[in-house]
Amino acid sequence: MTLQFSLGSIAPETVETPCVVVGVYENGLLTSAAARVDSAAGGAIKRQVESGDITGKGGSTTVLFAPHGVQAKRVLVVGLGAQKTFDGARFQKVNLEAARALSRMPIDSAVSFLAEADVPGHDAAWRARTAALAADYATYRYTATFKPREKGNQPELRSITFAGDEHAQPGLDQAIAIAEGVRFARELANLPPNICNPAYIAEQAVKFADAHEPVSCKVLDHEEMERLKFGSLLAVGRGSANKPKLIVLEYKGAAADEKPYALVGKGITFDTGGISLKPGPGMEEMKFDMGGAAGVLGAFVSAVKLGLKINLVCVVPAVENMPDGDSYRPSDVLTSLSGLTIEVLNTDAEGRLILCDALSYTAQTFQPKVLIDAATLTGACVVALGKYASGLMSKHDDLADELLRAGENTLDRAWRLPLWDDYQVQLESGFADVANIGGKNAGAITAGCFLSRFTEGQRWAHLDIAGTAWDEGRKGLATGRPVPLLAQWLIDRAGGRES
């Protein structure tokens, strides 16, 4: 189910809705909307503040049912925390918690006044977009047919109206498109690997292209890639019965002769580690190893839905890494599409082996303005940055700054790691041009250094999303990151203009 969003200039005390949402800061300070509801309800909110039932703690929620004097059947009071330190991250958090509380109620719609809260440095459009994206994220439910949702008699949340005027509309429009891309990425990544294999991802890309006139899709099979000499990518897929695919989506939103921006995403649909087999515990999470592919596809979806006036290419190498009698081995030497030879020291460092050929193909075929890859590439990045920030590497300071700003804007944040040539020595090989791993130290950085050898002459950046693409645990779901970051970066490249 897709949550619907709208804007409205309405009064919190008189709007007829199953639930109205207002905010209260710590120390009992009421927002304008909360004060109006409180006045109409004869002090109902202030009494609960005085009793300690409403604390104002950031993200806390309290429901007042059918307060006298208010047209709404319920009032959801959300704690905003200390007003002095209220910022964008807290604003996102309180909207997430508000949406979670709404989704637990037997209601089909609500009206939120949280976007009226002042967030230093951010305008009405940003607040509307952030509130809507937070609500969409919090209310997402995995909808695969083999785990059907229980159908009850109670209504489910289907729409939220945010209090706001025409100044907020551009932000809400962006939110609707970005949310669609995030959902596309999450649904794809959450699917089990026996469903979401390379052929399935290709089918979804073709289906999307067929439904959108400015979009075309080409899929290269393993025979075509063998003819073109994708030696590194094909080696990774040799052990699997599910043959590799290279998926190429093109969106024409600008003049035909204008060079495109290019996104490349790691699409390992399941990663056993190959001959360098991973430990069994936790291996089930390796269905998420195509999170980079899901992320760039989701960003592509968002750009198309926004109608951005740019040309955009999205390339996904989709491969399954399995152990088999025909699998590639440690000590094998591969010849990549670029002609560089690679000594395989570990078959579980396979993401960079499919990406290097995909990056070479993208650069050679499209000569893009900018080339960005996203990949669940290294556990080392998770150790370094945890689950909150994606790792960002680039030799281009201006490009790195653009991506960092886009991440801060959307709260889909990244942190820059060095890509100095000093680290390249760790990739030296006595048997090939380069080794596929650089040892235990600086693992995320040496992975980026490996990819940099295949992007010479390109304005290129690498996003390691190994810590941010999914939530850990047996019930952990894909997050859809870095769709918001990449979508914002593309909006910025288009100058914010939409067709």
Q: Print the SS3 string covering 462-495.
A: EEECCCCCECCCCCCCECCCCHHHHHHHHHHHCC
CA dist 431 and 487 (Å) reads 41
Q: Of these residues, 90, 100, 229, 278, which one is catalytic?
A: 278
The tokens describing 52, both together, are 């300690």
Give CA angle at 120 (63, 181), nearest 5°. Answer: 70
Whether omega before 260 lies within 30 degrees of 0, making that bond cis, reads: no
- With H, G, I as helix, E, B as strand and everything else as coil, classify residue 163: strand
Instruction: Please give the helix or strand (H or E) that residue 159 lies within, else none.
Output: strand 159-163
Judged by phi (left if over 0) then psi (alpha if -120 to 50, else beta), residue 377 lies in alpha
Beta bridge mates, 306 = none
Sign of the CA dihedral with 203 first, then 239, 471, and 379 last: negative
The tokens describing 484, both together, are 């918001």
Predicted structure pTM score: 0.96
Q: pLDDT value at position 313? A: 98
CA dist 341 and 448 (Å) reads 17
The residue type at 167: H
Q: Of these residues, 36, 238, 352, 395, which one is catalytic?
A: 352
Q: pLDDT value at position 151? A: 63
The tokens describing 386, both together, are 């945890």
pLDDT along the chain (499 residues), means of 10: 92 97 96 98 97 97 96 98 97 98 97 96 98 98 70 86 96 98 98 98 98 98 98 98 98 97 98 97 97 98 98 98 98 98 98 98 98 98 98 98 98 98 98 97 98 98 98 93 98 71
Q: Can you give the length of the chain in residues?
A: 499
Among all chains, which residue has been given the structure tokens 């918001």?
A: 484
CA dist 426 and 431 (Å) reads 14
CA dist 460 and 400 (Å) reads 9
User: Active-site residue 147, yes or no?
Assistant: no
The tokens describing 335, both together, are 């010849």
- Cβ neighbors of 196 (< 8 A, separation 6 or more) are 188, 189, 269, 287, 290
User: Active-site residue 47, yes or no?
Assistant: no
The residue type at 278: K
85 burial level (CB within 10 Å; 0-12, 13-18, 19+): exposed
Is there a contact between 458 and 390 (Cβ–Cβ < 8 Å)?
no
Q: Long-range contacts for 212-217 (Cβ within 8 Å, ≥24 apart)?
A: 212/251, 212/304, 214/251, 214/252, 214/253, 214/304, 215/249, 215/250, 215/251, 215/252, 215/304, 216/249, 216/250, 216/252, 217/247, 217/248, 217/249, 217/250
Is there a contact between 318 and 358 (Cβ–Cβ < 8 Å)?
no
- With H, G, I as helix, E, B as strand and everything else as coil, classify residue 231: helix
